[in-house]
């Protein structure tokens, strides 16, 4: 389940983002300090082109989903980009990484197409992140041509069009 970020979520959000496993697959890999995080949060919390949501499972916060570069007005297709990270330390220690990962992917794609009413959802994935690339294919994302960042790391742009997403009413049949 996804819900809006509350004030009490802001510091756990920073702590989760700073976990080594999450930093390793992020575009910006440095550790984020409290001042930098609060500056970012004050800038994005009311930005109409962004949504920052808490992923919960069994009524417990376990991750963050961000939607950004939202174009909800047209005139072309409604589109946006997204990313997420889980509280890796908790989901790993409790052995629920895979179930949480599948759930956040389902919830986020449903939110993108059913709540935001997007036609196109975009993201990026690091070339060496084979597990994420495979999961993205399960969710019917399409990889584009690889792009090299300024630091030399290579990322694949991925997209999911509304008409290509898994039909929520037939998930168990696919």
- pLDDT over 90 for what percent of the chain? 79
For position 174, what pLDDT does the model report?
42
pLDDT of residue 26: 81
Average pLDDT of the chain, as a whole number: 91
**pTM score over 0.85:** yes
Domains of the chain, earliest start first:
2-173 (3.40.630.30)
Report the alpha-carbon distance of residue 24 to residue 33 in Å, rounded: 16
The Cα 20–Cα 105 span in angstroms is 21
In contact, 105 and 63? CB cutoff 8 Å? no
Cβ neighbours for 136, distance < 8 A, ≥ 6 positions apart: 123, 125, 143, 158
Structure tokens that stand for 11 in this block: 């510091």
Distance, CA of 113 to chain centre: 14
Tokens of 5: 């970020």
- Using the predicted structure, report yes or no on whether residue 18 has a pLDDT greater than 80: yes
């Amino acid at each position: 389940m996804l819900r809006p970020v509350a004030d009490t979520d802001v510091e756990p959000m920073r702590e989760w983002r700073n976990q080594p496993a999450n930093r390793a697959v992020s575009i910006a890999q440095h550790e984020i300090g409290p001042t930098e995080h609060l500056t970012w949060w004050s800038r994005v919390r009311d930005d109409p082109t962004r949504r920052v949501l808490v992923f919960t499972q069994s009524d417990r916060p376990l991750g963050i989903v961000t939607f950004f570069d939202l174009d909800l007005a047209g005139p072309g297709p409604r589109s946006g980009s997204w990313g997420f990270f889980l509280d890796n330390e908790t989901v790993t220690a409790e052995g629920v990484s895979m179930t949480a990962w599948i759930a956040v992917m389902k919830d986020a794609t449903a939110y993108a197409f059913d709540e935001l009413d997007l036609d196109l959802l975009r993201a990026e994935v690091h070339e060496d992140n084979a597990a994420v690339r495979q999961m993205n294919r399960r969710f019917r994302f399409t990889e584009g041509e690889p792009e090299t960042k300024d630091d030399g790391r290579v990322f694949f742009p991925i997209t999911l069009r509304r008409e290509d997403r898994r039909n929520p009413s037939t998930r168990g049949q696919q």
